[in-house]
């Protein structure tokens, strides 16, 4: 019976190790050639100074804090609006139930009026401007 397992190519592990070692060597050379921590603000090589990098980090933290505060305010407002929407939907549902009950009552009244051929006495009293003329 044949196996479905793949056989690793010989030497492929060595290539991976060599690539990782090369990448580590390049990274360490880049780190050693970086600007020293005590560089002047106007470095002739064009590299930013530690102070300007620190100022940039502080600015970014301040911007992130403002964005977080705006997000929290928006989230609070969103929760309040969701509660308000829930209350309005509940009120609409209760109103729709009331409309449905009134529609059923009106349908029953119209059916009685149609069967009797005239205005229902209760409706005539309700629509009468003067109860004495009822």
pLDDT tens digits for range 71-88:
999 999 999 999 999 999
Q: Which residues of the chain have pLDDT under 50?
A: 1-8, 11-12, 39-40
- Confidence (pLDDT) at 101: 96
Q: d(Cα 123, Cα 79) in Å, to the nearest integer? A: 48
Rounded to 5 degrees, φ, ψ at 35 are: -70, 135
What is the residue extent of each domain of the chain? 49-129
- Confidence (pLDDT) at 88: 97
- Confidence (pLDDT) at 1: 43
Residue at token pair 């629509």: 127
Q: d(Cα 120, Cα 114) in Å, to the nearest integer? A: 9
Q: Is the dihedral of CA 122, 128, 130, 134 positive or negative?
A: negative
């Amino acid at each position: 019976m044949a196996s479905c397992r793949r056989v690793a190519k010989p030497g492929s592990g060595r290539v991976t190790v060599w690539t990782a070692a090369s990448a580590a060597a390049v990274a360490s050379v880049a780190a050693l050639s970086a600007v020293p921590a005590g560089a002047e603000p106007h470095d002739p090589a064009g590299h930013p100074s530690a102070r300007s990098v620190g100022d940039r980090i502080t600015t970014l933290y301040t911007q992130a804090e403002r964005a977080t505060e705006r997000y929290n305010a928006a989230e609070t407002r969103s929760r309040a609006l969701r509660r308000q929407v829930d209350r309005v939907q509940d009120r609409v549902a209760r109103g729709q139930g009331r409309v449905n009950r009134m529609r059923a009552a009106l349908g029953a009244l119209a059916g009685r009026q149609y069967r009797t051929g005239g205005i229902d006495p209760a409706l005539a009293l309700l629509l009468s401007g003067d109860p004495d003329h009822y």
